[in-house]
């Protein structure tokens, strides 16, 4: 099969931990052809969606980890699957990419994750679809409402709606003298909507990443444990990744979210679970595949290729 990957610039990928690279490597090992597309390579010409795609060969041991052929303008519908793996932030250009990929779907392209679902389900806000598994949450840009939320909960997490890797996440406790300036900064003086969630002490045991592949959970989660003196467990913020079998509660959450993810064309979904609570549903470019495979018999990249071969 021919698989096209819409990625960040190839030289920016850290292949020792990159989930997209792991998926490409698993696909290449089975003899599938790989093609690389950058965000700016996707075009709409006379109402038809295409991309300037370059065939990609993995080249371990060479100065670069890849070799690229010349770019050729190709209809996206000609690939067996197009994998949207561009990292956030979900900015205006990301939005435009979903529009172009949705047009490609109308022409017969198979795009994973589906562009409409990526666009419709913000990774922070998507938990509102599963209130039974969520902590008390407030989404607003009004400082007074955030202050009332803090007074009720005593300890909260504030985070922007469009960032990744723990960027812009603050823990605020009742009586913190920096509360007002944190709220002002995150909301840009009331111009940007943010999320407040009750602080979950079980973060000390890790912010678990559960991978759903075509709605089915991988049997191991990656618990991202904060370093000393840090609230965030994100690996990008210095957290330590420890793979562990899913708990009964993890499986309960996965069983609830899985059918929803499958129905919306979310082939690879990353659930973030702290303690007993679902805190985020990652739909853009979920990670954790490499760390789990390094510590357990579970290879989610192989599971991904199994799903792609089955669906395509």
Question: 153: phi > 0 → left, psi -120 to 50 → alpha, else beta; which?
Answer: alpha
What fold characterizes domain 136-199? Answer: Dna Ligase; domain 1 (3.30.1490)
Q: What is the CATH number of domain 2-116?
A: 3.40.50.20
Task: Provide the 10 A C-beta neighbour count for residue 108.
Answer: 10
> Across the strands, what pairs with 138?
196
Q: Which of 113, 122, 234, 282 is catalytic?
A: 282
Assess whether 209 carries a catalytic annotation. Answer: yes
Assess whether 280 carries a catalytic annotation. Answer: yes
Superfamily of 202-311 according to CATH: ATP-grasp fold, B domain (3.30.470.20)
Q: Which of 250, 272, 291, 302 is catalytic?
A: 272
pLDDT, residue 109, reads: 98
Assess whether 282 carries a catalytic annotation. Answer: yes
> Across the strands, what pairs with 225?
240
Q: Which of 159, 207, 250, 291 is catalytic?
A: 159
Q: Which of 250, 280, 291, 302 is catalytic?
A: 280
Cis amide bond preceding 43, omega within 30: no
Please report, for the chain, the start and end positions of each structural domain, with discontinuous segments joined by +. 2-116, 136-199, 202-311
Q: Walk along the chain (312 residues) and give the pLDDT tens digit of each residue.
A: 999 999 999 999 999 999 999 999 999 999 999 999 999 999 999 999 999 999 999 997 677 899 999 999 999 999 999 999 999 888 999 999 999 999 999 999 999 999 999 999 999 999 999 999 999 999 999 999 999 999 999 999 999 998 777 788 999 999 999 999 999 999 999 999 999 999 999 999 999 999 999 999 999 999 999 887 677 767 776 788 999 999 999 999 999 999 999 999 999 999 999 999 999 999 999 999 999 999 999 999 999 999 999 999
Assess whether 227 carries a catalytic annotation. Answer: no
Cis amide bond preceding 9, omega within 30: no
């Amino acid at each position: 099969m021919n698989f096209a990957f819409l990625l960040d610039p190839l030289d920016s990928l850290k292949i020792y931990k990159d989930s997209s690279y792991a998926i490409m490597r698993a696909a290449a090992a089975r003899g599938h052809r790989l093609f690389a597309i950058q965000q700016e390579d996707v075009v709409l010409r006379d109402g038809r969606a295409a991309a300037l795609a370059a065939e990609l060969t993995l080249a371990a041991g060479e100065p670069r980890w890849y070799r690229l052929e010349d770019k050729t303008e190709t209809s996206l519908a000609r690939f067996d699957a197009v994998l949207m793996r561009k990292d956030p932030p979900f900015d205006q250009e990301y939005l435009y990419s979903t529009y172009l990929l949705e047009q490609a779907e109308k022409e017969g392209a198979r795009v994973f994750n589906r562009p409409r679902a990526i666009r419709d389900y913000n990774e922070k806000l998507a938990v509102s679809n599963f209130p039974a598994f969520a902590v008390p949450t407030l989404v607003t840009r009004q400082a007074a409402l955030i202050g009332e939320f803090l007074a009720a909960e005593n300890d909260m997490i504030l985070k922007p709606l469009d960032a990744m890797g723990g960027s812009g996440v603050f823990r605020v406790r009742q009586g913190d003298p920096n509360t007002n300036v944190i709220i002002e900064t995150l909301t840009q003086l009331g111009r940007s909507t943010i999320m407040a969630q009750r602080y979950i002490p079980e973060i000390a045991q890790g912010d678990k990443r559960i991978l759903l592949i075509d709605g089915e959970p991988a049997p191991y989660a990656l618990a991202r444990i904060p370093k000393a003196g840090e609230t965030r467990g994100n690996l990008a913020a210095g957290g330590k990744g420890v793979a562990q079998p899913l708990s009964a509660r993890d499986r309960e959450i996965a069983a609830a979210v899985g059918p929803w993810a499958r129905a919306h064309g979310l082939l690879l979904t990353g659930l973030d679970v702290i303690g007993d609570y679902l805190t985020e549903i990652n739909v853009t470019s979920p990670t954790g595949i490499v760390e789990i495979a390094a510590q357990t018999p579970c290879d989610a990249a192989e599971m991904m290729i199994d799903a792609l071969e089955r669906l395509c």
